[in-house]
Structure 1
């Protein structure tokens, strides 16, 4: 299934974008509610805040650059970009996350614009930005091709795109694999988020519209939440996707018990709770320049 419905499928004279359909609007409403649940801003601050500056450094944000952070959450890339002197717009499908971001930006002494926006239908003009970023954000847009098209569209010629995504093989990618048997099936046409952590997939999405592509697998180390069970329980209360899966199986104690055990074991296999063993989460860092 493509991201554009044909006239025969829609009964209209012109193609209809996925984002224009009732089904997609309902899907995006579910996504917004999912990310607004729990406490993602606290998770981002406590576990992965350091990823934002890494992405900003990799894309070489300069003073005066017009910067868009797509699926910005509470701003762990947008705020470092503003600290570098960029004129930053932080966009996200879930504006409920912005309050924490605004507080953090005020504490950092920077100003930026916060804008509700669907990564698959960005409300910005063509060529509007010098740098377009996404730090473990755009990867969760369900229609990858459409999201990639938007990243390229809003970035000016010779502008930079920077993407940081969890890999399928890393801890977060494997967490999604572990949760899959208990989660709702992906809607028709949607693709799994961790595919954005596969270099070949991202290269195919961006295609020949970009040049100077770099891709590097890296890891971020975790030294908090000492036990596997602590990591599992933290995600159960803070992370929207995990909360959504547990909500779906809440009436089945056997499934809840099985998922509890599986997530704790996954954390254990990746080194959580083992003194002297690194607990690291792998991500893919991609940069490119629009032709």
Structure 2
């Protein structure tokens, strides 16, 4: 008799990744990348000093905000992401602009590439959402050749997006044990511990991103509810509870209004650059 055994931890991890994939397939992240944070991709590519001939990996590339900009330099670029719906959007956008790059469905915590495969590894507010930070950090540096360049942009815990996640947290199911909050990737001490002795020339700088897309808190709430996967997921969590739905509405509007100043919001991010040892 055949007895099939399963690893409970592996099964739990597969379920967790399936949930993450479903969250990011909600809404239309391309609209967020295109209308709210388009300049982050350009900033990251510049910080990574990408040039023609470089082999580049964009981890958790989403809809290609950074990967497409990297390909414009003449570099050979691979855009990888856990969510195929996001990659399909990136593929269409690249084709529409006559830009060639490769697309791979891949888990940031188990990248399907050999050691020392890339000259540059990037992630633009992407790898920070992988649930196990140590595993993701290990993969970022494992696939990077010695002296290769690492460049990341992550939202900070104290900035607007970090506050948004804190605001939504009470309205969502508790994460499984061991899952770390995404904005921790925007904390310098946490990043230093993650990268530890795998990099040299580590530099980190907190920077402001001016966002002028929203005139009111209600406009921000509606846009992110409809287009940003994690916010859409929060709304789904309380969809059957009228009181909780109203509370979530009010909390997000209040947060956005606190950060709006004459139609401009400042979203803080951490720019990280380093070289692999």
User: Tell me, what secondary structure is at the counterpart of 2:218?
Assistant: helix
Partner of 1:204: 193
Equivalent residues in 2 for 1:258-273 (5 A)? 258-271=247-260
Relative to the length of structure 1, the TM-score reads 0.91
**1:206-263 CA distances to partner (integer Å, 9 max, x unpaired)?**
0011000110011111112211111011111001111111111111110111111010
Match of 2:42 among 53, 56, 61: 53
**1:85-124 CA distances to partner (integer Å, 9 max, x unpaired)?**
1100000000111222122212332100010000000000
Give distance in 2, aligned partners of 1:102 and 1:170: 31
Equivalent residues in 2 for 1:64-143 (5 A)? 64-143=53-132
> Hey, which bits of structure 1, 4+ residues long, moved more than 6 A?
none
**1:240-288 CA distances to partner (integer Å, 9 max, x unpaired)?**
11111111111111011111101000001111xx42x641111000000
1:283 equivalent to 2:272? Answer: no
Give distance in 1, aligned partners of 2:210 and 2:124: 16
Relative to the length of structure 2, the TM-score reads 0.95
1:224 equivalent to 2:213? Answer: yes
User: Tell me, what secondary structure is at the counterpart of 1:50?
Assistant: helix
Shift of 1:186: 1.5
Give distance in 1, aligned partners of 2:248 and 2:99: 42
Q: Report how many residues are paired.
A: 273
**Structure 2 unaligned regions, length at least 5:** none
Name the Cα RMSD after superposition.
Answer: 1.5
1:170 equivalent to 2:159? Answer: yes
Shift of 1:17: 11
**1:124-151 CA distances to partner (integer Å, 9 max, x unpaired)?**
0000000000000000000000000000
Shift of 1:24: 0.5
